[in-house]
Amino acid sequence: MSTTIESADKYMFQTYGRFPVTLVRGEGCRVWDEEGKEYIDFVGGIAVCSLGHSAPIVTRVLEEQSKKLVHVSNLYYTLPQIDLARLLVENSFADRVFFCNSGAEANEAAIKLARRYANEISGTGKHLIISMDNSFHGRTMATLSATGQAKIQTGYDPLLEGFRFVPFNDLNRLEQALDESVCAVMVEPIQGEGGVVCPDPDYLKGLRKLCSERKATLIFDEVQVGMGRTGRLFCHEHYGVTPDIMTLAKALGNGLPIGAMLSTEEFSRAFGPGSHATTFGGTPLVTAVSTAVLRSILDDGLLEHCTSIGHYFKERLEELGRKHSLIKEVRGLGLILGVELNTPGAPIVTACQEAGFLIVCAQENVLRFVPPLIVEKDEIDRLVETLDRILDKN
Ligand SMILES: *Cc1c(COP(=O)(O)O)cnc(C)c1O
């Protein structure tokens, strides 16, 4: 074992089951480890590095902005933060943006806003939040209480009160659960960590309708599927519905830590000065980079590329599915694709790594592919050929 890994095991909390690889450099869809071995990266920092590693625009803006202003706190206005907020509002259903530092924090903000809105409009008693079985919303106490996975909640009792779970893609169960005490419904338009589970065609429309009828706030957690991942800037655009609140993080900064909560004007009014805050949220450094990332996604043909290459990728995986009985189903949209196996995925992930490809599982048995949006056909072909070979042997 390398001394790097020994030191990590000695000095750091053992919170991650890491792969025994130390990465030192990246460029585009490639990364290299300490020994100089090259990998094609189909993880992209978990759906984060959409423009690829060492993207020139990111490097340039980082350098320029770091010479101007890195951080001053939200006691003052800064220009990049306003630019990013304007660009997000101009390209979404939303009227206002709150910046923070991660997906969990964006969801915390959404939960707080929904509660405060309900308290202002309806008084106390309307405070329950419904989320989905198998969902993932983060690791803080509130967001893990909203996460429908026992393995993430185990050992943290008492969890926060006020969360109720229903199965994803089940409007009947949602309707039954949506009583007077419910203030919000929180859902990922496509469940990422849950195993790349897509909504049935009319599910999100039905969800929107029920929420409007019962006066429950609809929150879309687009932390993983937003920012162009599915071929539209936001995943919900595919389904012809808009939420009241949306959260973003992962790809928003291409690797710099940033989260955002967006909402319509009506909902935003429930937050006033002092009602919510963060020291770091939306620093000039990070928002300058994010603005460049968002512009690039919108202006450089990345959405079109994601749609066509994602389609190609899915077809190639479906071909594999017809050939290998280990593959149960191929799912996903754009460049979030999942291959459900009849067997644990870990040995396949390891074999891919040995062959020079980074991939990751969602749940035990779903191979998940969330590469940079700039991934090319020959990179996909090489991965698919490798998977074909590995599946032959397993
Ligand atoms: C990753 C993720 C989060 C949590 O984001 P962090 O930045 O890790 O806190 C929340 N929701 C979804 C859908 C995610 O994929």
Q: Which CATH number fits domain 58-299: 3.10.20.30, 3.40.50.2300, 3.40.190.10, 3.40.640.10?
A: 3.40.640.10
Q: What number of helices (H) and strands (E) belong to the chain?
A: 14, 15
Residue nearest to atom 15 of ligand 1 (CA): 224
Of 100, 132, 193, 220, best ligand 1 pocket probe by most atoms within 8 Å of the beta carbon:
193
68 alpha carbon to ligand 1 midpoint, in Å? 30
**Does 158 sit behind a cis peptide bond, omega within 30 degrees of 0 on the bond before it?**
yes
104 alpha carbon to ligand 1 midpoint, in Å? 6
Tell me what pLDDT residue 75 has: 97
Mean pLDDT (the chain, rounded):
97
Residue nearest to atom 11 of ligand 1 (CA): 137
- Identify the CA nearest to 317 among candidates 373, 391, 250: 391
Asked whether the predicted pLDDT for residue 2 surpasses 90, the reply is: no
- Identify the CA nearest to 220 among candidates 196, 198, 243: 243
252 alpha carbon to ligand 1 midpoint, in Å? 12
In ligand 1, the atom with minimum distance to the C-alpha of 249 is 7
pLDDT-derived band at 3, boundaries 50, 70, 90: confident
Residue nearest to atom 10 of ligand 1 (CA): 137
Residues of 57-71 as b/e, b for ≥16 C-beta within 10 angstroms? Answer: ebeebbeebeeeeee
Tell me what pLDDT residue 92 has: 98
Tell me what pLDDT residue 76 has: 97
Q: How far apart are CA 162 and CA 146, in angstroms?
A: 9
Q: What is the residue-wise DSSP string for 48-114?
A: T-TT-BT-HHHHHHHHHHHHH-S---TTS--HHHHHHHHHHHHTSS-SEEEEESSHHHHHHHHHHHH
66 alpha carbon to ligand 1 midpoint, in Å? 27
235 alpha carbon to ligand 1 midpoint, in Å? 15
Tell me what pLDDT residue 187 has: 98
Residue ranges of the domains in the chain?
1-41, 58-299, 311-348
In contact, 359 and 386? CB cutoff 8 Å: no
44 alpha carbon to ligand 1 midpoint, in Å? 14
Report H helices in 231-371: 265-268, 284-299, 302-323, 346-354
Asked whether the predicted pLDDT for residue 122 surpasses 90, the reply is: no
The percent of residues above 90 in pLDDT, for the chain, comes to 96
86 phi, psi to nearest 5 deg = -60, -45
Of 191, 223, 252, best ligand 1 pocket probe by most atoms within 8 Å of the beta carbon:
223
Per DSSP bridges, beta strands 182-187 and 217-221 are: parallel
Q: Tell me the pLDDT tens digit for each residue of 21-53.
A: 999 999 999 999 999 999 999 999 999 999 999
In ligand 1, the atom with minimum distance to the C-alpha of 143 is 10
Cα–Cα distances in Å, from 246 out to 97, 111, 160, 185, 243? 10, 11, 22, 12, 7
222 phi, psi to nearest 5 deg = -105, 30
Q: Tell me the pLDDT tens digit for each residue of 285-299.
A: 999 999 999 999 999
Q: Tell me the pLDDT tens digit for each residue of 325-360.
A: 999 999 999 999 999 999 999 999 999 999 999 999
Asked whether the predicted pLDDT for residue 124 surpasses 90, the reply is: no
107 alpha carbon to ligand 1 midpoint, in Å? 8
pLDDT-derived band at 394, boundaries 50, 70, 90: confident
Q: How far apart are CA 269 and CA 92, in angstroms?
A: 18
Q: DSSP character for 286?
A: H
pLDDT-derived band at 1, boundaries 50, 70, 90: low
Asked whether the predicted pLDDT for residue 277 surpasses 70, the reply is: yes
247 alpha carbon to ligand 1 midpoint, in Å? 10
Q: Which residues does a 6 A CB cutoff place in the pocket of ligand 1?
A: 102-104, 107, 136-138, 188, 192-193, 221, 223-224, 249-250
Q: Tell me the pLDDT tens digit for each residue of 172-225.
A: 999 999 999 999 999 999 999 999 999 999 999 999 999 999 999 999 999 999
pLDDT-derived band at 242, boundaries 50, 70, 90: very high
| 364: CB partners within 8 A, 6+ apart | 344, 345, 346
Q: Across 102-235, where does the E strand assignment appear?
A: 128-132, 163-166, 182-187, 217-221
Long-range contact list for 379-382, CB < 8 A, 24+ apart?
379/29, 379/40, 380/309, 380/312, 380/313, 380/316, 381/316, 382/40, 382/357
Cα–Cα distances in Å, from 65 out to 59, 69, 85, 87, 288? 10, 6, 17, 18, 7
CB-facing half-sphere around the CA of 373: CA atoms within 13 A? 32
In ligand 1, the atom with minimum distance to the C-alpha of 46 is 1
Structure tokens at 57: 């625009």
